[in-house]
Chain A
Amino acid sequence: MSLLEIKNLHARIGDTGILHGIDLTIGRGEVHAIMGPNGSGKSTLSYVLSGRDGYEVTEGDILLDGESVLEMEADERARAGMFLAFQYPVELPGVGGMAFLRAAVNARKRDAGKDEVDQLEFVKMVRAEAKNLGIKDDMLKRPVNVGFSGGEKKRYEILQMALLKPSMAILDETDSGLDVDALKIVSEGVNLLRSVERGMLVITHYQRLLNHIVPDQVHILAGGRIVKSGDKTLALEVEENGYSGLGDAA
């Protein structure tokens, strides 16, 4: 059985249709990339998959482990194994970082019928994962994302992914706002999380991220549809020729 199956997905925000029939299947252990110009529906796809309010699915289905997630709230989908690394992670003043991470991890544990994680053990676990991503203790003590630089916010997203161990991770423009060094650290963090158990959908505007996180398949999104699919060389083709022309293939 495939991990994630997107079938003829149509979605709209208010009266505006954005996705017009997306078909995409991701198996365990696979990394797929979605590339597309601005306004092609990339971020909408990530929000529709993760269940954000206001994004209405009008046709089609999304199956995670063979089960439709359409009737599930965002938090239920997350506990079922879906994870979205945000393009713009939000600041949560007044919400302590450690309390937030622990609430997220415990929510999954409770759902799985497991004991909640012990506080001391949890701190050790977070520190170990944070070290891999070059996240300092001081950052962990601050409220979520408050006062973080762009690069720190993205690293914090990957830290959450490492702690939550999702089966299906969606990375929405994780490269945006990162300089070359930060891009390298974040990509290394993501690569460490590649696993035969986990699927990844890497959404990006630019090919450069895919030099670091090498995908098994690349899909081009234009006008709310996948207009072309191929292996990693397709990304290089886009780099060379741009998106113009690809849309016409639809």
Chain B
Amino acid sequence: MQPERLYKTWADRKEAAQSYLESVNWPNGQTEAWKFTSLSHLSDVVLNPPKQSSSIARAARLDGEVLNFTAGLAPHLAAASLPAGIIASDISGDKAICHKAFALLPDNHHLTALSASCQTAAVKIEIAGSAKIDTPLILQFTDGKIDEASHPFIFIDIADGAHLHLAELHEGASSLSQPLILVRLGQGSTLDHIKLQDEANHTTHLGLTLFRLDGQANVNSFSVSKGSQITRMETHCFFAAPDAQAAMSAVYLGCDNQHHDITTVVSHEYADCKSRQLIRGVLDDKARGVFQGRVRVAPDAQKTDGQQMSRALLLSRDAEADAKPELEIFADDVVCSHGATVGELDETLLFYLKSRGIDEAEARTMLIDAFLVDTLEEISYQPFADFLRGQVSGWTARQTGVE
């Protein structure tokens, strides 16, 4: 379970990552983990690290303390005025910390290997237990150029009993955007987390966000994927002690020939933990959506409660949705459920709305919003909920032509 012993040093890990990447090259649909998402288009391009540029301060679309990662490079942390209780430090030169952090990430995993090998930034953010932090912390990822690859790594360490509101806003323009966010939640700590993937339409977004929870920790996470050309958005949850809870839901919105792959991995290693996932996708034009959800329940993880439900709504005959729930349950006293559906807008419901004088575009908007509304209600922190609702309804209005 702790692969630390495999690699003695950061240099060992980095070398192993490089040889792993050389052996597998880019996943092309041959392996089970990348069955629905091929990255073979990346083997034809030469990707360069981002050029050093002075960090451009940008206003975030959400109120909070902003750390701006320009083209995947670290912000100038000394200049950042963070509230008391949040300490951010550049750890790109600190091999010991990087080594320790990566020991908490899955091994033989394409995205962790990529990050270890190609990091463009490494930042550690510590949240003190005593601090009372009201404003959200916003990690904003902007800019970047075609043929550039951005690989920022951010390790967030939330002390026992602390609380954090954390937003990841991915709005960059590099050809490849590969953010890796590791969040360690100390005992009894809580986290409200959102992730918005709204990158430029030529971008390949390969995101991994991993939550590692100590006892009684609680994370409420919600992701929206709507930008980029090809998206693989992985969210992992690792229960490292009993009695913790995770809600990690997501909405993906696809149009044109976008590809959105939402992959989740939940590892119940200890007893009495609860995980809950609601996934909804809306796909128009020739877009393709994928949901892969693995829930592993270890032999000792009795009284696990693991819920997972994914639903996709196809707005076009050429859109496609795939779902692959994987439950690996080794304990016998658990409550686990999963389900997956794919459907179209119901003609009868559309006619009902139209028969009341509501035009086609508005009727479709109402039904798409209705399909997503209960999922969006999972977001517990109101400013985050309002922000993502706006993102989702903006997309729907654009697709139906209401705006």
Q: Which residues of A contact B (CB under 8 A)?
A: 50-54, 73-75, 78-79, 83-84, 86, 89-90, 92-95, 99-100, 103-104, 107-108, 111, 143, 160, 164
Separation of A104 and B374 alpha carbons in the complex (Å): 23
> B363 contacts A75, CB within 8 Å?
yes
Q: Residue B357 at the A interface, CB < 8 A? A: yes
Q: Does B354 contact A (CB under 8 A)?
A: yes
Contact A95 B367 (CB under 8 A): yes
Q: How far is the CB of B93 from chain A (nearest CB, A)?
A: 51
Do the beta carbons of B354 and A78 come within 8 Å of each other?
Answer: yes
When A90-B349, A95-B367, A100-B366 are in contact, do A107 and B359 touch as well, CB less than 8 Å? yes
A-B contacts besides A75-B355, A94-B371, 8 pairs, CB < 8 Å: A51-B354, A75-B360, A78-B354, A92-B367, A95-B370, A99-B366, A103-B358, A111-B357
Lowest 10 CB-CB distances: which A-B pairs, in order? A94-B370, A78-B357, A104-B356, A74-B354, A107-B357, A75-B354, A79-B357, A94-B373, A95-B370, A75-B359
Contacts of A107 in B (CB 8 A): 356-359, 362
Please tell me if the beta carbons of B357 and A53 are within 8 angstroms of each other in the complex. no
A104 pairs with B352, CB closer than 8 A: no
Check A78–B352 contact: CB distance below 8 A.
no
Closest Cβ neighbor of B374 among chain A residues? A94
Report if A53-B373 is in contact (Cβ < 8 Å); known contacts: A73-B360, A75-B363: no
B→A interface (CB under 8 Å): 347-349, 351-360, 362-363, 366-367, 369-374
* Cross-chain contact B347 with A103 (CB below 8 angstroms): no
Chain B residues with CB below 8 A from A83, complex form:
355
> When the two chains form the complex, which single residue of A74, A100, A111 contacts B351, counting CB atoms closer than 8 Å?
A74
A111 vs B373: C-alpha distance when bound (angstroms) = 28
B366: nearest chain-A partner, CB-CB: A95
List, in ascending order, chain B residues with CB within 8 A of A104's CB. 356-358
- Inter-chain CA distance A115–B356, complex, in Å, is 18
A50 to B369, CA, bound (A): 25
Closest to B362 in A: A103
Q: How far is the CB of A15 from chain B (nearest CB, A)?
A: 19
Q: Is the CB of A53 within 8 A of B347?
A: yes
C-alpha spacing A99/B358, complex, angstroms: 12
Least CB distance, A74 to chain B, in whole angstroms: 4
Q: How far is the CB of A152 from chain B (nearest CB, A)?
A: 16
**Known A-B contacts A94-B374, A95-B367, A107-B362; A74 and B355 likewise in contact (beta carbons under 8 Å):** yes
How far is B353's CA from A93's CA once the two chains are assembled, in angstroms?
Answer: 13
* Known A-B contacts A103-B358, A107-B356; A53 and B366 likewise in contact (beta carbons under 8 Å): no
CA distance A50 to B356 in the complex (A): 10
Task: Find chain B residues with CB under 8 A from A78 CB.
Answer: 354-357
Contact with B355, one of A84, A92, A94, A103 (Cβ below 8 angstroms): A84
Complex: A100 Cα to B352 Cα, angstroms = 11
Residues of B within 8 A of A108 (CB): 357
CA distance in complex: A86, B353 (Å): 12
* Distance of B76 from chain A, by nearest CB (Å): 45
Residues of A within 8 A of B366 (CB): 92, 95, 99-100, 103
Contact at B358–A53, with CB atoms within 8 Å?
Answer: no
Q: List 12 A-B contacts (CB under 8 A).
A: A53-B347, A73-B359, A74-B351, A90-B349, A92-B370, A100-B366, A103-B353, A103-B358, A107-B356, A107-B358, A107-B362, A143-B370
Task: Select B352's contact among A53, A86, A99, A111, beta carbons within 8 Å.
Answer: A86
Smallest CB–CB gap between B141 and chain A, Å?
Answer: 32
Q: Which residues of B contact A90 (CB under 8 A)?
A: 348-349, 352
Among candidates B351, B356, B367, B372, residue contacting A164 with C-beta atoms closer than 8 Å: B356
CA distance A103 to B355 in the complex (A): 12
- The answer to whether B373 and A50 touch across the interface, beta carbons within 8 angstroms, is no
- The listed residue with most A CB atoms (<10 A of its CB), out of B357, B367, B373, is B357
Given contacts A73-B360, A78-B356, A103-B358, contact A92 B351 (CB under 8 A): no
- Residues of B contacting A79 with CB < 8 Å? 357
Report the minimal beta-carbon distance from A85 to chain B, rounded to whole angstroms.
10
Of B351, B366, B367, B372, most buried by chain A (CB within 10 Å of CB) is B351
Among A92, A99, A160, residue most surrounded by chain B Cβ atoms (within 10 Å) = A92
For the complex formed, measure the closest distance between the CB of A70 and the CB atoms of chain B, giving whole angstroms: 16
Measured in the bound complex, the distance between the Cα atoms of B392 and A113 in whole Å is 30
Measured CA separation A52–B354 after assembly (Å): 9
Greatest chain B CB density within 10 A among A50, A79, A103, A160 is at: A103
- Give the CA-CA distance A84 to B359 in the complex, in Å: 16
With A94-B374, A95-B370, A103-B362 already in contact, the answer to whether A73 and B352 are too (CB < 8 A) is no
Interfacial chain B residues near A95, Cβ < 8 Å? 366-367, 369-370
- Check if A75 sits within 8 Å of B371, measured CB to CB: no
CB pair A50 B355 closer than 8 Å: yes
> Closest chain A residue to B363 by CB distance?
A75
Residues of A contacting B363 with CB < 8 Å?
75
Q: In the complex, what distance in Å separates the CA atom of A10 from the CA atom of B371?
A: 37
**Chain A's nearest CB lies how many Å from the CB of B346?**
8
Q: A143 to B359: give the CA distance in the assembly, Å.
A: 19
Cβ-neighbour of B354 out of A54, A73, A99, A100 (below 8 A): A73
User: Is there an interface contact between B351 and A53, defined as CB atoms closer than 8 Å?
Assistant: yes
B358 and A92 within 8 A (CB): no
Q: What chain B residues lie within 8 Å of A164 (beta carbons)?
A: 356-357
